[in-house]
């Protein structure tokens, strides 16, 4: 339809509307259909650019329906929104809508509509399209004001009677840019351990056109949290998908995820100390070297301080960092200038372990002093073939001990004998230069030389008419504990004619080891005897007459008791000055044999040797000293458990290590050493 046709149609419709109004007046005075108002619904519309919506113009009280109408609408700002379509009434027979080119206004004239006869009736539907952000108002005006035909705003009922419009409303249209959804971003570790607190941060999330109103976390194990940051601890190993959902101020959401691989927590670091070694002994003033091995027995790495304590006070430390199962040797130097001479405790410790040992500080030893050599020769004037005893016991070492004695009897520079006491017989009469060389425990030597004059032996005595025999001490040797006694019998080996008289002396050669405490005679009236013991116990002289013994064979004349005083060995010698038979004839004594006494602090019971410590652990398992540990040692210890040796040396037989000796130690010896 061209513009001319449209204009003619509009004018025709306007005439038609006017005719309807006139017809409604035929037969009487014209009257209004009623008073009503026009409203716009909705009163507020919200759009985005390009979005469309519709609003309705409603005749609020149409008592008689609406048969015709002429109306215009107008937008205050067509840059915000435009009118893109209008529709009049419900189903009018004639309708002529018109929209301005810029969409700012529209109008319509219509007739012959058939609507509801009462209540509110929609008389116009307007389609709006958002253009740009802003606000515009939609107003109800006359068609003329809306750029249409020169007509007033008017509606008539189905009979053609016009309504009186007392009020027209308007509406507001707001156009805003569309909301942009927020962006969720998760920051947090990709791995963790069971029991470890893991922190997540959503501060990287954003909303380009507003703000984020809420943060919601899901940790994939049934637990949740809210807030821009969150922490969580996983109870089991596995892969977990952490989800963050953010919601902006327009209700839009976004979700981001991050996978966290959770592994079992490793064993914690544990620094163990082993292989502790302290240099010992060390001279006072020198440094003592202390070393130890520190091993991390756990899986995790750690750094700990390794401390060195001496006598309970820390003197040094070292920081050590170790991975799991790694080890490192630590070394310290302990200054000993401020330490006393003796043993000192040293401890190396970490946070988890410690080890202790001891080291000895010794005094600075003075320079070694040379020994002094001296000896005696007995007899002093020997004869050819006579044994000469050379005794070097007078030799001394002021700061140690003499380790060897070497003798040169013929001045040829070679050693002829070794030992503290030796014998030598010279084959010819002459003056002999005898040299003694002694060596101490530090290797220093000293020597001395004496001249021994040897003369020809005198002619032998003519043989005697009496019988010959030997006299000896029995037993030949005794081993006793220090403080115990041994008894020696004086025995005539072959008394052919009995023994009627004798005079003899028994001598202990080393009184520091033992002394004679008793001497007794037998087979004689005590009134016919004389027994004298030296005041220092070094000798005992026994004399008797009218002795009554067996007439032949071996006879015992008396007994000498020797008590030990200190650990060591001594000879017990016998000298027979007179020995006669019961008829008064002298015996020729061809030999007077003495005996030996060995005193030991650890001779248990009747053992033939002192107790031994075969494994060097400080206790003496070989109780009877026979070189083996067996049930005989258990029996010996049990038999002499109350003896002085055992009772005075409990530490030597403390086999169970409880600090004392009891029957439990005997049982322990049996169980551990004999199985």
- Of 61-70, 321-330, 603-612, least confident by mean pLDDT is 603-612
Give the pLDDT confidence of 465-504 residue by residue, as tens digits: 568 899 999 999 887 777 878 899 999 888 888 888 889 9
pLDDT greater than 70 at residue 113: yes
* Closest to 505 (Cα-Cα) out of 485, 534, 528, 526: 534
The pLDDT value given to residue 655: 87
The pLDDT value given to residue 465: 55
Cα dist from 542 to 121, 487, 578, whole Å: 168, 15, 11
**Cα–Cα dist 340/571, whole Å:** 44
Whether the bond into 379 is cis, omega within 30 of 0: yes
The pLDDT value given to residue 37: 96
Q: Which residues pair with 589 in a beta bridge?
A: 469
* Closest to 447 (Cα-Cα) out of 409, 405, 418: 405
Q: In what order do the strands lie in the sheet with 539-544?
A: 477-481, 595-600, 568-580, 501-508, 539-544, 529-533
User: Tokens at residue 538, please?
Assistant: 């070094």
* Closest to 573 (Cα-Cα) out of 506, 491, 493, 640: 506
444, containing H or E segment = none
Q: Which domains does the chain have, with CATH numbers?
A: 3-175 (2.60.40.680), 191-263 (2.60.40.10), 271-362 (2.60.40.10), 376-454 (2.60.40.10), 468-600 (2.60.40.680), 608-675 (no CATH)
Instruction: Return the higher-pLDDT residue of 135 and 12.
Output: 135
What does the buried/exposed string (b/e) look like for 309-324 if buried means 16 or more CB atoms within 10 Å of the residue's CB? bbeeeebbbeebebeb
pLDDT greater than 60 at residue 184: yes
Q: Which residues pair with 356 in a beta bridge?
A: 347
Q: CB-based burial of residue 128 (10 Å sphere; 0-12 exposed, 13-18 middle, 19+ buried)?
A: buried
**Cα–Cα dist 355/348, whole Å:** 6
- Residue written as tokens 């219509």? 110
Q: Mean pLDDT throughout 410-427? A: 93
Number of H helices, E strands in the chain: 4, 45
Confidence of residue 265 (pLDDT cuts 50, 70, 90): confident
Count CA atoms within 13 Å of residue 229 on its CB side.
Answer: 7
* Closest to 647 (Cα-Cα) out of 601, 599, 597, 598: 601
**What are the backbone dihedrals phi and psi of residue 486, each rounded to the nearest 5 degrees, phi first?**
-125, 145
pLDDT greater than 70 at residue 231: yes
Torsion of CA 106, 110, 115, 121, to 10 degrees: 30
- Give the list of residues 6+ apart from residue 492 with CB closer than 8 angstroms, or none: 469, 470, 471, 499, 549, 554, 555, 556, 557, 579, 587
Q: Please, are residues 611 and 623 in contact by the beta-carbon 8 Å criterion?
A: yes
Q: Please, are residues 103 and 78 in contact by the beta-carbon 8 Å criterion?
A: yes
Confidence of residue 601 (pLDDT cuts 50, 70, 90): confident
User: Tokens at residue 591, please?
Assistant: 């030999």
* Closest to 420 (Cα-Cα) out of 456, 387, 374: 374
Q: Mean pLDDT throughout 115-125? A: 93
**Cα–Cα dist 117/114, whole Å:** 9
**What are the backbone dihedrals phi and psi of residue 338, each rounded to the nearest 5 degrees, phi first?**
-95, 5
Give the pLDDT confidence of 123-172 residue by residue, as tens digits: 999 999 999 999 999 999 999 999 999 999 999 999 889 999 999 999 99
**Cα–Cα dist 447/402, whole Å:** 12
Q: Please, are residues 123 and 69 in contact by the beta-carbon 8 Å criterion?
A: yes
The C-alpha R_g of the chain, in whole angstroms, comes to: 68
* Closest to 93 (Cα-Cα) out of 112, 109, 108: 112
Give the pLDDT confidence of 15-46 residue by residue, as tens digits: 444 444 444 443 333 445 789 999 999 999 99
Cα dist from 78 to 85, 109, 129, 178, whole Å: 14, 23, 10, 19
User: Tokens at residue 502, please?
Assistant: 């004798």
- Residue written as tokens 């791995």? 191
* Closest to 116 (Cα-Cα) out of 80, 84, 158: 158
Highest mean pLDDT among 421-430, 460-469, 649-658: 421-430
Q: What is the DSSP string of 281-317?
A: SEEBTBEEEEEEEEEE-SSS-EEEEEEEEETTEEEEE
Q: Please, are residues 469 and 493 in contact by the beta-carbon 8 Å criterion?
A: yes
pLDDT greater than 90 at residue 605: no
Percent of the chain exceeding pLDDT 90 equals 64
Q: Please, are residues 76 and 139 in contact by the beta-carbon 8 Å criterion?
A: yes
**What are the backbone dihedrals phi and psi of residue 671, each rounded to the nearest 5 degrees, phi first?**
-70, -40
pLDDT greater than 60 at residue 7: no
Q: Please, are residues 551 and 557 in contact by the beta-carbon 8 Å criterion?
A: no
**Cα–Cα dist 311/254, whole Å:** 68
**Cα–Cα dist 592/574, whole Å:** 6
Q: Mean pLDDT throughout 570-599? A: 90
The pLDDT value given to residue 5: 40
Number of Cβ within 10 Å of residue 121's Cβ equals 23
606 SS3 class: coil
Give the pLDDT confidence of 50-98 residue by residue, as tens digits: 999 999 999 999 988 999 999 999 999 999 999 999 999 888 889 999 9
Cα dist from 650 to 129, 449, 645, whole Å: 116, 49, 9
């Amino acid at each position: 339809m061209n513009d001319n046709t449209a204009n003619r149609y509009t004018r025709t419709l306007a005439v038609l509307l006017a005719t309807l109004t006139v017809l409604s007046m035929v037969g009487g005075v014209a009257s209004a259909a009623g008073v009503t108002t026009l409203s716009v619904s909705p009163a507020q519309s919200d759009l985005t650019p390009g979005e469309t919506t519709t609003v309705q113009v409603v005749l609020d009280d149409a008592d008689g329906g609406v048969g015709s109408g002429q109306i215009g609408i107008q937008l205050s700002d067509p840059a915000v929104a435009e009118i893109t379509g209008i529709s009049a009434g419900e189903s009018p027979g004639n309708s002529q809508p018109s929209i301005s080119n810029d969409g700012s206004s529209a109008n319509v004239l219509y007739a012959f509509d058939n609507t509801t006869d009462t209540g509110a009736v929609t008389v116009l539907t307007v389609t709006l399209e958002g253009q740009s952000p802003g606000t515009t108002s939609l107003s109800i005006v006359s068609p003329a004001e809306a750029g249409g035909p020169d007509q007033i705003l008017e509606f008539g009922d189905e009979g053609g009677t016009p309504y009186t419009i007392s009020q027209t409303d308007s509406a507001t249209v707001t156009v805003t840019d569309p909301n942009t959804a927020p962006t969720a971003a998760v920051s947090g570790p990709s791995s963790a351990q069971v029991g470890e607190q893991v922190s997540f941060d959503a501060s990287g999330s954003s909303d380009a056109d507003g703000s984020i109103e809420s943060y919601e976390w899901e940790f994939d194990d049934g637990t949740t949290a809210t807030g821009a940051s969150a922490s969580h601890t996983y109870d089991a190993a596995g892969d977990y998908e952490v989800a963050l959902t953010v919601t902006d101020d327009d209700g839009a959401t976004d979700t981001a995820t991050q996978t966290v691989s959770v592994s079992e927590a490793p064993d914690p670091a544990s620094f163990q100390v082993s292989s502790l070694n302290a240099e010992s002994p060390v001279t006072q003033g020198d440094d003592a070297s202390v070393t130890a091995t520190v091993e991390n027995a756990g899986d995790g790495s750690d750094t700990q301080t390794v401390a060195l304590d001496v006598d309970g006070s820390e003197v040094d430390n070292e920081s050590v960092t170790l991975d799991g199962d790694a080890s490192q040797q630590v070394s310290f130097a302990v200054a000993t200038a401020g330490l006393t001479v003796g043993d000192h405790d040293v401890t190396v410790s970490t946070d988890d372990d410690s080890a202790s040992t001891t080291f000895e500080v010794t005094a600075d030893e003075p320079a070694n002093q040379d020994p002094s050599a001296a000896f005696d020769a007995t007899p002093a004037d020997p004869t050819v073939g006579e044994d000469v005893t050379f005794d070097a016991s007078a030799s001394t070492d002021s700061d140690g001990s003499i380790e060897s004695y070497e003798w040169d009897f013929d001045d040829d520079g070679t050693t002829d004998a070794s030992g503290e006491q030796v014998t030598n017989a010279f084959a010819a009469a002459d003056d002999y230069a005898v040299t003694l060389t002694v060596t101490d425990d530090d290797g220093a030597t000293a020597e001395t030389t004496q001249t021994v004059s040897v003369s020809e032996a005198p002619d032998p005595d003519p043989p005697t008419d009496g019988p010959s025999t030997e006299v000896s001490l029995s037993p030949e040797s005794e081993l006793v504990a220090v403080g115990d006694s041994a008894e020696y019998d004086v025995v005539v080996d072959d008394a052919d004619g009995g023994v009627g008289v004798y005079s003899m002396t028994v001598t202990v050669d080393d009184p520091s080891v033992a002394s004679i405490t008793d001497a007794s005679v037998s087979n004689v009236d005590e009134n016919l005897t004389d027994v004298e013991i030296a005041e220092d116990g070094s000798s005992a002289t026994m004399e008797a007459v009218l002795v009554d013994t067996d007439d032949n064979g071996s006879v015992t004349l008396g007994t000498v008791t020797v008590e030990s005083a200190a650990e060591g060995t001594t000879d017990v010698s016998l000298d027979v000055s007179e020995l006669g038979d019961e008829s008064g004839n002298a015996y020729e004594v061809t030999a007077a044999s003495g005996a030996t006494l060995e005193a030991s602090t650890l001779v248990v019971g009747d053992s033939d040797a002192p107790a031994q410590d075969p494994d060097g652990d400080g206790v003496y398992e070989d109780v009877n000293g026979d070189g083996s540990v067996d049930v005989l040692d258990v029996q010996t210890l049990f038999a002499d458990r109350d003896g002085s040796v055992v009772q005075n040396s409990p530490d030597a037989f403390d086999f169970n290590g409880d600090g004392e000796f009891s029957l439990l130690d005997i049982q322990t010896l049996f169980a551990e050493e004999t199985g």
